[in-house]
Amino acid sequence: MEVEQWEKQQAAYRTADGFTDKSVKGMWFTFEGRLNRMRYFLRVLPVYLLMGAVYAITHHVVWLAVLYLPILWSLLSLVSRRAHDLGREPWPFWIAVCLPVLNIAVGLYLLFKHGTYGANRYGLDPTEYPYDI
């Protein structure tokens, strides 16, 4: 499938996703569309690293905790789009990602569970996008 054809079909879902919208908002902060396993991993890894760095720094400089909020927003966005790829509602995953111990199991589930094949109500199958990552 050609890029133009894919983008035309995706436009029918009226969602801004990280493929047709390559902006920072489209890639990191939108809650619409789908995200396959590889893209999820490549985007969630730096988010978790930033969360760890901010957490370590805030022990010494408390006002930097404000940085944690946009990072958390980005994490919830990525989790939402990954849940959409699985054909599920995102809110149970949001709760699970914020709970200790359960977040590890849910994170592994989101990372290794294959998304639904073909289009679902959240958009086209991201593995069919003509260009990778």
Q: Domain ranges for the chain, please list them.
A: 23-128
Q: What is the pLDDT of residues 46-90, one digit of tens each?
A: 999 998 888 888 777 777 778 888 999 999 999 999 999 999 999
Q: What is the pLDDT of residues 65-76, one digit of tens each?
A: 788 889 999 999
Residue 30's alpha-carbon distances to 34, 53, 70, 81, 122, in angstroms, are 10, 23, 12, 8, 13
Chain-centroid distance of CA 117 in Å reads: 18
Q: Give the Cβ contact number of residue 81 at 10 Å.
A: 26
- Residue that has been written with the tokens 């590890």 in this structure: 104
Predicted pLDDT of residue 45 = 94
Between the CA atoms of 89, 15, 51 and 104, what dihedral angle is there, to the nearest 10 degrees? 30
From the CA atom positions of the chain, what is the Rg in Å?
16
Query: Percentages helix, strand, coil for the chain, rounded to the nearest 5?
Result: 60, 0, 35
